[in-house]
Structure 1
């Protein structure tokens, strides 16, 4: 699918995605029975809520010129099937939670990587490279913390 959007549009959509994931994990946390899984889901909910706040702060530091830059890019739709296909219920395991999280985070990474494949101005490219780097670091942090919680 070819999209014509501003950099601001993409950042706003990413913030909305993180907010949705935060709510998604919170709702799951309210349903699970296993304490470790509940702790993991609560952590993931806070993690994504925090990322939405970080994106707000990041966006406020980006110039209007960059935010208002229009560009076209081709990107496949994010696969949200982990929201719907996973066996997410009260008896889910921490491994199942982590697998869903990794699948959903992959969507964001692919979006930023697709943006960087296009002929966009260097200043816009720097913004999306920064967002890509941030998401990669957050993915690693999430994996490490999930492992710590799982082995408690």
Structure 2
């Protein structure tokens, strides 16, 4: 489905995605029994909430001109099969959680990469390039910290 969106629309959608993921991980942490898995889920929930807050600050620093830039965007649905295919229950493993998290983060990376291929002013391209780099960095940080928690 092709839609016309502003840069602000896309940033707001990504913020909402991070918040929903944070809530998802927190709700899951309330159901699991293994302490290490609970710690991992709580960390991942805080990490997603932190990313939403970072995006909020990032957006506040952008000019109205950049935020209001319109462009055509082919909206590719995020692949949420990791939610549905994973055995996400009280006896899940840390490995299962990490696998789902990495697959979901890929959705955001693809969104930012798609934005870089649009014909928009250079300053808008720079915004999405910066967001892509931040998301890659945070994905690596999350994966490293998740592995540390898993091996505690």
TM-score range normalised by the length of the shorter chain: over 0.9
Question: Normalization by structure 2: what TM-score?
Answer: 0.98
Matches within 5 A, 1:52-67: 52-67=52-67
Question: Normalization by structure 1: what TM-score?
Answer: 0.98
Instruction: List gaps (5 residues or longer) in structure 1.
Output: none
CA offsets, 1:115-146, max 9 Å, x none? 10111110000000010000000000001001
Q: CA RMSD in A?
A: 0.8
Matches within 5 A, 1:54-93: 54-93=54-93
| Larger deviation, residues 78-87 vs 16-25 | 78-87
Alpha-carbon distance, 1:42 to partner: 0.2
- Kept in 2, the 8 Å contact 1:15–1:52? The answer is yes
- Kept in 2, the 8 Å contact 1:75–1:114? The answer is no
For 2:30, the equivalent position in structure 1 comes to 30
1:123 aligns with 2:117: no
Count matched residues: 152
CA distance in 2, matches of 1:150, 1:6: 40
Instruction: List gaps (5 residues or longer) in structure 2.
Output: none
CA distance in 1, matches of 2:75, 2:116: 11
Alpha-carbon distance, 1:83 to partner: 2.1
Q: Secondary structure at the match of 1:124?
A: helix
Dislocated runs of 4+, deviation >4 Å: none
